[in-house]
Amino acid sequence: MKDREKSPVENLKAFLRGFFGAFKHSSTEYLEFELRELENVFALILMGEFVGIPSPPTTLVIRLLPHMTRELYVMQRRVVDMDDILGELAGMFEIT
């Protein structure tokens, strides 16, 4: 029975580990969301010519285009998921 009981120091360590782990998880989730949005904005700036936004010089776009494969996939995925961006933000900040 005594093997199952932990010392108060071990309990405190477990509590702090869980407490800071929750902060780390929400911070990581926020940073991942911000990274996705920045990738989307970057792709929109480079590909803005398709929607009528003045774009950077064409030579720059052509040089960056091979590195934009992932961003193009992100843009396609965002188009599918764009129906509830405010819901996603509210869920991230736990606003009800």
34-77 pLDDT per residue, tens: 988 887 787 778 777 767 777 778 788 788 888 888 877 877 77
In contact, 92 and 29? CB cutoff 8 Å: yes
Nearest Cα residue to 77 out of 29, 37, 25: 37
- Give pLDDT, residue 87: 76
- Give pLDDT, residue 25: 87
> Model pTM?
0.51
Phi, psi of 10 (to 5 degrees): -65, -40
The one-character DSSP state at 78 is: H
Q: What dihedral angle (degrees, nearest 10) is formed by the CA atoms of 10, 13, 14, 17?
A: -160
More confident call, 73 vs 83: 73
Residue ranges per domain, the chain? Answer: 8-93
